[in-house]
Structure 1
Amino acid sequence: MPIDGTTDSTRGRGVLEGAFGLLEAVERSGSAGLTALAAASGLPKATAHRLLEQLVQLGALERAGAAYRIGPRLFQLGQEWQPHPGLRGAAREPMRGLATATGASVGITVLAQGRALIAGAVAGDLDAVVPLRPGSSFSWTTAAGKVLVAGSTAAAPLHSAPSGWARQAAAIRDRGVAIDMEEVVPGVCCIAVPVRGSGGKTVAAVCALVEPTQRLRPMTDALSRTASHISARLHPRHPATHVRSHRRATG
């Protein structure tokens, strides 16, 4: 054992944490230099430089002048990530069809570290206001996040639950829909419904961003049909588990 009392596994975790801290700092900034990344990750400058150069050699990062940005190998590895087997492929065409028919921005989200993580998206009329991009995430208190947390069988890592959340979650499960009326972004309404896997388990939420002036009942019905189509594509050999339509919606 080293004289400082650390083990090889402990040191290995420290190196990995430092490397991931730098990757996250690069992801947040898009492109940044050594000094900024060392400060953002909390690493000594010499340590940050050594890890950054190793990440460049591995293709996880690449240099752009004096700055670092995400590299091609990390991008390639990320494309293979599946939050649920076949989910992104199953969602692609139904989401595109809904966006084309309605002009809505449509996204498929999963619960990751207590947030609604976008696994796939199709841009719509409100893309300039709220861009949906794969890999970005939103608070669980958004409509999509509430659908995911309400349908989760495991204890979600909620930092703070609003008053009356248990009652609200029960209503979301009963109606099969959550609606955000300009609560997050002025001028933007978000509707979300669950995508169900085997046994009716919520494996994702599909959401649509529309203007508040749009009639919500037809939009919610269309979104529910889209979720059912995605569920059917996830289980092509079995009858689709249909998403229960909401009982009522504003608009």
Structure 2
Amino acid sequence: MQDRPEVARPGGGARRGDTPTALLERVSVVLDVFEGGEAASGLTLADVVRRSELPRSSVHRMLEQLVRMRWMHRSGRRYRLGLRLLELGALAVNQDELHATALPVMYELHAATRLVVHLGMIEGPGGDDILYLDKIGGRLVQAVPTQVGGRRPAVGTALGAVLLAGRGDPRMDPAADARIVREGVARVASSAPHGYSCVAAPIGRIGEATAALSLCAPNRHARLDPRVISPLRIAAGTISRALGGVTAPNHARMSA
């Protein structure tokens, strides 16, 4: 029987049978377990093994290699995402045309409404998640528990609702779907006393757009009426036209 060739690993010899694809998939699985706020204080080797369901020896070897590459940081027994990932993430966002186009419009929208502005896009094979690309919010920013680079299930968020609407998605309530298509925005409000409310508009056509803007605020500050919905629509339309190669004329002033 002919031996299978070994594939070199950075920082050490190869394990027989490891292919580049398999290695990348394993590294991706390990990095994915650090999503979510519960990983902010760091995860132990046992935590990562349990969450990833990969062999302990493989996980330990990958974590230590990632530490050497600055993709991970180890403090005592706990691992956290490293600064190199932050650098790469910032580069990816700064090189993204959507983000570059949207950012100045988001600042203008926040100045007009004084509410938290999100830029998000739908992600996942079935549009399962919303990925937050940026967040601007002034004094209210800490009151809305979202984070740049974080994910949330699309269902249940204003960003997700406005991006799933008009597609015949079975997860959408038909009446709510029709209302969003008719109005061009989606609203989601928390019933909790200290919850928050959001309204979102698509960057592009309802049923086709993959990115959206939202305005959010704690319920005690929420004022999601036409005075803020109109600037939101204008902002989303401005970004959409710019991305389509059309120079937007002096767009309407976003005064709330």
TMscore range, shorter length: 0.7 to 0.9
Secondary structure, counterpart of 2:142 in structure 1: coil
Contact 1:111 1:145 in 2 (8 A): yes
State the shift of 1:219 in Å: 1.1
Q: 2:98 matched to which residue of 1?
A: 87
Contact 1:193 1:207 in 2 (8 A): yes
In structure 1, what residue type is equivalent to 2:183? R
CA distance in 2, matches of 1:2, 1:51: 28
Q: 1:206 matched to which residue of 2?
A: 213
1:161 aligns with 2:175: no
CA distance in 2, matches of 1:18, 1:65: 23
Q: 2:121 matched to which residue of 1?
A: 110
State the shift of 1:216 in Å: 1.2
CA distance in 2, matches of 1:2, 1:77: 41
CA distance in 2, matches of 1:236, 1:97: 21
Q: 1:226 matched to which residue of 2?
A: 235
Secondary structure, counterpart of 1:161 in structure 2: coil
State the shift of 1:225 in Å: 1.4
Mark the runs of 5 or more structure 1 residues left unpaired by the alignment.
243-251
Report the TM-score, using the length of structure 2 for normalisation. 0.75
Q: 1:247 matched to which residue of 2?
A: none
Contact 2:144 2:218 in 1 (8 A): no
Q: 2:185 matched to which residue of 1?
A: 177
CA distance in 2, matches of 1:10, 1:169: 46
Q: 2:9 matched to which residue of 1?
A: none
In structure 1, what residue type is equivalent to 2:228? M
State the shift of 1:196 in Å: 1.6
CA distance in 2, matches of 1:186, 1:139: 21
How do 1:114-125 residues align onto structure 2 when only pairs under 5 Å count? 114-125=128-139
Q: 1:146 matched to which residue of 2?
A: 161
Aligned sequence identity (%): 27
State the shift of 1:218 in Å: 0.9
Secondary structure, counterpart of 1:26 in structure 2: coil
In structure 2, what residue type is equivalent to 1:222? P
Change (3 A) 1:231 1:183: farther
In structure 2, what residue type is equivalent to 1:204? A
In structure 1, what residue type is equivalent to 2:100? G
Change (3 A) 1:215 1:191: closer
Please identify, of 139-148 and 127-136, the stretch whose mean Cα deviation from structure 2 is larger. 127-136
What are the Cα deviations for residues 102-153 of structure 1, in whole angstroms up to 9, with x where unaligned? 221110110012111111110244433323321112221211101111256x
Pick from 131, 137, 148 the counterpart of residue 145 of structure 2.
Answer: 131
RMSD: 3.4
What are the Cα deviations for residues 207-241 of structure 1, in whole angstroms up to 9, with x where unaligned? 0112445251111111111112222332454457x
How do 1:180-195 residues align onto structure 2 when only pairs under 5 Å count? 180-182=188-190, 186-195=194-203
Aligned residues: 231
In structure 2, what residue type is equivalent to 1:216? D
CA distance in 1, matches of 2:192, 2:60: 39
Pick from 61, 65, 76 the counterpart of residue 65 of structure 1.
Answer: 76
In structure 2, what residue type is equivalent to 1:208? L
Please identify, of 81-90 and 52-61, the stretch whose mean Cα deviation from structure 2 is larger. 81-90
